[in-house]
A and B are shown apart, each in its own frame.
Chain A
């Protein structure tokens, strides 16, 4: 906490709030990984961290450094943009792959492909 010593009280408290909210939301999201029963349900959970959790913590950071350096420090926006752009890519590819795997194993929990009888491994 070497540089935060100059932070005014309101900023400190607000930052604390943002950070705590963000961390809590992220924790809840990750908790979802434990609590949710199947992969397709679990895949929703981390989104909490990549949306509200992240934005909240980044907001805390923007606030803190803008006040500290007495100028708008907003480059955290970039992180938000990047994460928002990239997380869907990961999740989409991952869920689709999981779907493929489940289908080839003949799982009944997933919607079947149109020509399911062809999904047998080649001899």
Chain B
């Protein structure tokens, strides 16, 4: 079965993509979408990436909800900084965080979360040392940021991916 459906989750996502694109759940699109989803996952298989193993889908959903709220909050915060402050970004600075997460897929998700949240940005990751360099717009207390990232995101991601 694995030769036929190397990435079942991906195929499911692609089918969803197809149906969303076509805004239709007609039998025709279901069939066509399935065929395409399988074919496209074969294309993916040709690239021979690591197989992501999502162990706890529930945790993933919870994480997603949390991230959305964080993003909304950060939007307001950053918006306030830009509009209100006389000298915006006076507290900005770099920040190094040692990470325990090693799974590439997990790190990718973490990068998406961090970068998508206004006010923080993923600058570079040193694979050898496992350290992450961040830039934060409103860096008043470094430890708060380290804790936020390690506890709120990294831990949960490790649950999901490792």
Choice from B71, B116, B124 contacting A96 with Cβ under 8 Å: B124
Chain B count of residues within 8 A CB distance of the other chain: 33
Near B by CB (< 8 A), chain A positions 92-121 give 92, 95-96, 99, 110-111
Choice from B20, B83, B123 contacting A99 with Cβ under 8 Å: B123
**B133 contacts the other chain (CB 8 A):** yes
Choice from A35, A38, A48 contacting B75 with Cβ under 8 Å: A48
Q: How far is the CA of A60 from the CA of B125 in the complex (A)?
A: 37
Is chain B's interface secondary structure helix, strand, loop, or mixed overall? mixed
**B145 contacts the other chain (CB 8 A):** no
A-B contact count (CB 8 A): 107
**A25 contacts the other chain (CB 8 A):** yes
Contact size class for A?
35 or more
Top 6 A-B residue pairs of the complex, sorted by shortest distance between their CB atoms: A88-B115, A41-B89, A52-B75, A47-B118, A32-B82, A44-B137
Q: How far is the CA of A87 from the CA of B124 in the complex (A)?
A: 16
Contact, CB under 8 Å: A74 / B115: no
Residues of B within 8 A of A84 (CB): 112, 116
Choice from A28, A36, A44, A88 contacting B111 with Cβ under 8 Å: A88
**B66 contacts the other chain (CB 8 A):** no
With A35-B82, A92-B122, A95-B123 given, name 5 new contacts (CB 8 A): A32-B78, A44-B118, A95-B121, A95-B135, A111-B94
Is chain A's interface secondary structure helix, strand, loop, or mixed overall? helix
Could you list 24 examples of A-B contacts with CB < 8 Å?
A28-B82, A29-B78, A29-B79, A32-B82, A35-B82, A37-B88, A37-B89, A38-B89, A41-B137, A47-B117, A51-B75, A51-B116, A51-B118, A52-B71, A78-B21, A85-B112, A88-B112, A88-B115, A91-B115, A92-B115, A99-B123, A110-B94, A111-B94, A111-B133
